[in-house]
Amino acid sequence: MAEDGDAGRTTHQRAASSPFRPDLFAGRTVAVTGGSSGIGLAIAQAFHAHGAEVHLLARDPARLAAAAATMPGSRTHAVDVRDPDRLEAAAAAVGPTDALVNAAAGNFPIPFDAMSRNAWQAVVSIVLDGTANACRAFRPRLRPGSTVTNIVAGYAWTGAPGVAHSGAAKAGVLNLTRSLAVEWAPVRVNAVSPGPIDGTEGMKRLADDLGLRAGIEAAVPLGRLGHAPEVAFACLYLASPAASYVTGACLVVDGGMDAMGPFGPLLGRLPATR
Ligand code: NAP
Ligand code: COA
């Protein structure tokens, strides 16, 4: 497991030092939307490091190529998840699939009152429609024993300022996850909810550009931001036989942030004895 001490290592190095068996996904085909960057890239690298044939789906061909260069044998599919026809063609090119991970997302913090209709639509259509589109496109290609893992966020059930579009869409994805877990069994459909993950574009803006790192760390019982491979390990687990009785679940990987609740600021301020 990645620890604070290995912060200088690359994402791929951390994934390669995983506690899972190196050949866990040998002979398996894994498709990752949003696999060209951030958490989706770490997820793709983790599956690749464990023997999977990995397919990356995202829009920008240059970023896809750079990501694929870190995973020999991986393949890329330049596609916007809002485009069902292109997704269908990409899924056909991937062929029989053992695991689909939906990590593609768009987000920008903005108050609801300042959000144009197009701004709302852009985020909701990428996150919610895009996830549904990918599920629909890959459904006929899912092999027996296959899994779908959707990446959500904790504000899907709490709400949060500046993310009404993303929060509403992630809440929809969470519900879609549970409905498909019911309708598609024995295909297992689960969600993973990352907390604040260091080095991602969103966290660079919040933690570094806006200087909020200390405040974010204080809101996490484990006292630090997460590493992308720590989210990837949750995805490996859910796609593995170790999770053979787990479906319709949401695995929260947030250092305890969600457990903190509204009394979090009291942490460390209560008397140690009575
Ligand atoms: P990121 O680095 O910005 O990556 C987003 C990925 O999605 C990129 O590969 C991007 O590639 C792709 N993408 C965006 N729009 C797309 C579209 N319309 N069609 C196809 N691909 C598209 O994001 P991240 O921060 O790692 O987040 C990854 C996931 O984790 C997201 O679902 C996010 O909501 C979730 N999450 C992140 C955090 C965090 O701390 N960062 C916390 C909680 C949840 P192109 O732009 O080239 O298409
Ligand atoms: N603040 C306010 N509004 C914004 C915005 C911002 N930072 N970025 C985009 N918008 C608005 C645009 O103004 C437009 O609305 P308008 O037509 O009323 O002006 C609408 O959103 C659509 O913008 P557009 O650039 O056409 O959308 P897109 O489909 O090309 O891009 C985004 C989608 C906006 C989500 C873009 O940020 C993106 O592709 N992000 C991917 C990476 C990402 O967000 N990573 C974080 C993952 S959690």
Buried b (16+ CB within 10 A) or exposed e, 79-105: bbbbebebbbebbeebeebbbbbbbbb
Query: For 66-103, what is each residue's pLDDT tens digit?
Result: 999 999 999 999 999 999 999 999 999 999 999 999 99
Q: Is the bond leading into 161 cis (omega within 30 degrees of zero)?
A: no
pLDDT, greater one: 43 or 261: 43
CA atoms within 13 A on the CB side of 91: 26
Task: Check residue 14 and give its pLDDT.
Answer: 55
Mean pLDDT of 169-182: 98
Query: For 48-66, what is each residue's pLDDT tens digit?
Result: 999 999 999 999 999 999 9
Pocket test for ligand 1, best of 32, 37, 64 (most atoms within 8 A of CB): 37
Mean pLDDT of 117-143: 98
Task: Check residue 268 and give its pLDDT.
Answer: 84
203 lines ligand 1 (CB under 6 A): yes
Average pLDDT, the chain: 94
Centre of ligand 1 from the C-alpha of residue 34, in Å: 5
Task: Check residue 101 and give its pLDDT.
Answer: 99
Task: Check residue 265 and give its pLDDT.
Answer: 84
Reported pTM: 0.95
Sign of CA dihedral 222, 226, 229, 235: positive
Mean pLDDT of 149-169: 98
Centre of ligand 1 from the C-alpha of residue 37, in Å: 7
- State the Cα–Cα distance between residues 137 and 146, nearest whole angstrom: 14
Task: Check residue 13 and give its pLDDT.
Answer: 57
The CATH code belonging to domain 18-197+228-252 is: 3.40.50.720
Centre of ligand 1 from the C-alpha of residue 127, in Å: 9
Burial zone of 50 (CB within 10 Å; 0-12 exposed, 13-18 middle, 19+ buried): buried
Residue 7 has pLDDT above 50, yes or no: no
- State the Cα–Cα distance between residues 129 and 131, nearest whole angstrom: 5
40 lines ligand 1 (CB under 6 A): yes
Cβ within 8 Å of residue 5, ≥6 positions away: none
Percent of residues, the chain, with pLDDT higher than 70: 94
Cβ within 8 Å of residue 172, ≥6 positions away: 124, 127, 128
Centre of ligand 1 from the C-alpha of residue 270, in Å: 39
Task: Check residue 82 and give its pLDDT.
Answer: 98
Task: Check residue 18 and give its pLDDT.
Answer: 86
Spell out the domain ranges in the chain. 18-197+228-252
Atom of ligand 2 nearest to the CA of 200: 46
Straight-line distance from the first to the last Cα atom of the chain, in angstroms, rounded to the nearest whole number: 37
